Amino acid sequence: MTYKELSSQIFNKKSYLCVGLDTDPHKLPPHLLKEPDPVFAFNQAIIDATADLAVAYKPNIAFYEAQGPRGWESLQRTLEYIPADCFTIADAKRGDIGNTSSLYARTFFDPDAAGLNFDSVTVAPYMGRDSVLPFLDYAGKWVILLALTSNSGSADFQRQRILTDSAREQELFEMVIKTAQTWAGPDKLMFVVGATQADELSRIRELAPDSFLLVPGVGAQGGSLAEVSRRGLTAAGGLLVNASRSILYASGGTDFADRARAEAQLLQTEMAEYLDAGVLAIK
């Protein structure tokens, strides 16, 4: 999916909601356990219930990997089921030396490898340029690089101040954002910024004015959609705000899909207001 197509989806659906498919086999409604692939059955119902409200789906790869080979099969089925007009994100946080990163890129981008054809993958920046470039080699595919994450541990290294030759002090996450933009433009590269980091979002928006930001942490982790939207929205949309647990596990019973839709609808309604108000109006 191109930058322009993603932007169009956002304004068409009046939504920048990404539904995180953090599907935990231990949290499934009991009536699904008799299905041949309960994880897929759950995802299918969640996708059916939210596809007109969401512009993106983000399977968290750990949840599938922890099920072994059958988890990868659930992931394949889920990805195939996501409608073509939705952007897909493999939340995998991979990153390794070049020849290994090439294989991770192949895993998530080349359907002839592991049967997966994601639009994008999340990548960890610690190993630098040659650990990221192989993911950028695929036409039409995106890298979503970790910048400032939503967890408390983000303070340990991401917030450290870096000594540079220039007078202006910068933190590690700022250097990551600046450096990575020398590797690819906003048509191929997004950044992960936690919703719990809203104070830093204005600074990040200045550093990456046209980049899409993937923002997890609204909902269960406590981030504010209003704050994130005020600081992060651009004329092209520029945000994908993820909610996972608050949607998936709104109910543990047979009404889980309806309740998931209701939660997604609340977020989408709020997003539509911010989009209708226009970026300048809400700033």
Catalytically active residues, by annotation: 93
Residue pair 254/42 in contact by the 8 Å Cβ criterion: no
Count residues contacting its own copies (CB under 8 A)? Answer: 60
Binding part of the chain for its own copies, among 38-46, 136-144, 158-166, 250-258 by CB under 8 A, reads: 158-166
Residue pair 60/94 in contact by the 8 Å Cβ criterion: no
Shortest distance (Å) from residue 214 CB to its own copies:
14
- Is 15 or 78 the residue whose CB approaches its own copies more closely? 78
Binding part of the chain for its own copies, among 162-170, 200-208, 231-239, 267-275 by CB under 8 A, reads: 162-170
- Is 33 or 155 the residue whose CB approaches its own copies more closely? 155
**126 burial via Cβ count (<10 Å: 0-12, 13-18, 19+):** exposed
Binding part of the chain for its own copies, among 36-44, 60-68, 207-215, 231-239 by CB under 8 A, reads: 60-68
Binding part of the chain for its own copies, among 78-86, 173-181, 202-210, 222-230 by CB under 8 A, reads: 173-181
Shortest distance (Å) from residue 108 CB to its own copies:
9
Residue with tokens 């005020």: 230
E strand spans, 139-217: 142-148, 161-162, 170-171, 189-193, 213-215
Site for its own copies in 63-122 (CB under 8 A): 63, 65-73, 76, 91, 93-98, 100-101, 103-104, 106-107, 113-116
Please choose, from the candidates 144, 169, 145, 172, the residue with its C-alpha nearest in 3D space to the C-alpha of residue 156: 172
Residue 114's contacts (CB-CB under 8 Å, 6 or more residues apart) are 72, 76, 106, 107, 108
d(CA 103, CA 202) in angstroms, rounded, equals: 35
Shortest distance (Å) from residue 149 CB to its own copies:
5
Q: Could you give the residue ranges of the DSSP H alpha helices within 137-197? A: 172-180
Maximum distance among all alpha carbons in the chain?
63
Shortest distance (Å) from residue 195 CB to its own copies:
12
Site for its own copies in 118-157 (CB under 8 A): 124-132, 146, 149-157
166 sits near its own copies (criterion: CB under 8 A): no
Quick note: the x/- pattern for its own copies over 205-244, rule CB under 8 A, is ----------------------------------------
Angle between helices 256-277 and 38-50 (to 10 degrees): 40
- Is 75 or 82 the residue whose CB approaches its own copies more closely? 75
Q: How many CB atoms lie within 10 A of CB 93?
A: 17
- Partnered with residue 237 across adjacent β-strands are 234
* Cα–Cα distances in angstroms (integers) from residue 76 to residues 29, 49, 70, in the given order: 21, 20, 10
Q: What residues make contact with its own copies under the rule CB under 8 A? A: 22, 60, 62-63, 65-73, 76, 91, 93-98, 100-101, 103-104, 106-107, 113-116, 124-132, 146, 149-158, 160-163, 169, 172, 175-176, 179
